[in-house]
Chains A and B, each alone.
Chain A
Amino acid sequence: MHDFHYHRASSLADALKALAAAKDGRLLAGGMTLLPTVKQRLASPSDLVDLAGLTELRGIRAENGGLGVGAMTTHAEVAHSPDVRKTIPVLAALAESIGDPQVRNRGTIGGSIANNDPAADYPAAVLGLDATVVTNKRKIKADDFFKGLFETALGEDEIVTAVHFPRPEKAAYVKFPSPASRYALVGVLVAKTAGGVRVAVTGAGACVFRVKEMEEALAKSFTADAVKGIKIPSKGLNSDLHGGADYRAHLISVLAGRAVTACG
């Protein structure tokens, strides 16, 4: 990798200052995507601003019946949190399915959703559970947060500080990992929430998306059979060595059915 300036931010304000002063600065959370990218010289930031020192961005709090998860909370912390396991077990299970144990020990929810990798797991949780992304500037509803391939609603001087997850009535996430990378070839989160049934799909498209047809079908009958038969058009879906668009489309129906079954 090219060399860069490294800053360990002592506060949000400090981080924003360092970022603003940098020619081409990037925020460093867990670094699980950013560092491999920089190592392979696919990105060459002038500055990395490390958020690890910001203890206020860490931790899990009960909030309005749901949970607030600090942006710098690691996947392992979410997976092992008794609060998460009790209040929103699907979130703990999803976090436990991300990457491998070492990735889970370093990777963070804030880093994951800000990066918005099309095959990442957390976007499915945020969108599927109708979460709200909290930044240093505002609150962004999940439906407005994920914009496209590696693209979010975040502004240049905006840092994710936490994600608020309302408690779903029931929810499950089923992931089909790509055989080589183990990222989601397709992952489907199905949730019965206060605002209705939500079906969020990751891995299959350029960005996490909801499947309205399945949501409507499940609203009428929350059974696996209700979604199994729904054929998703393969147009626009991802295609790679490990699965074509038609396979991904098929998997969405299969995994949605399995997720509904897993909801109990």
Chain B
Amino acid sequence: MPTVSMTVNGKAVSAEVEARTLLVQFLRDKLSLTGTHVGCDTSQCGACVVHVDGKSVKSCTMLAAQAEGAKVATIEGLANGTEMHPMQAAFKEHHGLQCGFCTPGMVMSALDLVKHNPSPSEHDVREWLEGNICRCTGYHNIVKAITAGAAAMRR
């Protein structure tokens, strides 16, 4: 079996995996980073969004082998101990999550949006979230949380 090596949340990791192993399976099964979720098999729901070399990607539609040598960031790497990242804090403050399953992908996707667009409007946020499906919140509070999180990150 081929060995893949990458940096995940700042830590160098390496494991033997079948070539068909997806990045999300590598994170969940090999590294026990179960914050990244799988909600569909057609690359649409976005529960699996992580950052690879600073860009948001769907880790269910990428082979672990394709992330060879890459810097991967997952939801587990955001908070500093008990101090949440401003985007995480905004989701809590504005009740931007209910069951929590889509949440890691939402937060990781939101952070990529803010990178491109530090002051997104409600419209911008709704458009950006095309690749993230939530069944609980009706998006109302997710949109509020992301605009507030972006504002907090500007400060």
Residues of A in contact with B (beta carbons under 8 Å apart): 1-6, 8, 28, 31-32, 35-36, 38-40, 48, 50, 52, 76, 80, 99-103, 105-106, 181-182
Contacts and interface: CB of A to CB of B under 8 A. Distances in A.
B62 A101 contact: no
Given A2-B20, A102-B109, A31 B62 contact: yes
Nearest to B129: A100
Contacts, number: 79
Nearest to B131: A100
Contacts of A50: 65-66
A8 B46 CA distance: 26
Contacts of B55: 76, 105
B20 A106 contact: no
Contact of B63 (A32, A35, A99): A35
B57 interface: yes
B53 to A, nearest CB: 10
A182 to B, nearest CB: 6
A76 B130 CA distance: 15
10 contacts: A2-B20, A4-B20, A6-B19, A35-B63, A39-B60, A50-B66, A99-B131, A102-B49, A106-B58, A182-B130
A31 B23 CA distance: 13
A256 to B, nearest CB: 24
Nearest to B112: A101
B57 A102 contact: yes
Contact of A106 (B18, B61, B132): B61
B130 A100 contact: yes
B83 interface: no
A5 B131 CA distance: 30
Contact of B46 (A32, A39, A40, A102): A102
Interface residues of B, number: 30
Contacts of B102: none
A52 B65 CA distance: 11
Given A35-B63, A100-B46, A101-B113, A1 B20 contact: yes
A2 to B, nearest CB: 7
Nearest to A99: B131
B82 interface: no
B43 interface: yes
Nearest to B49: A102
A36 B113 contact: no
A210 to B, nearest CB: 29
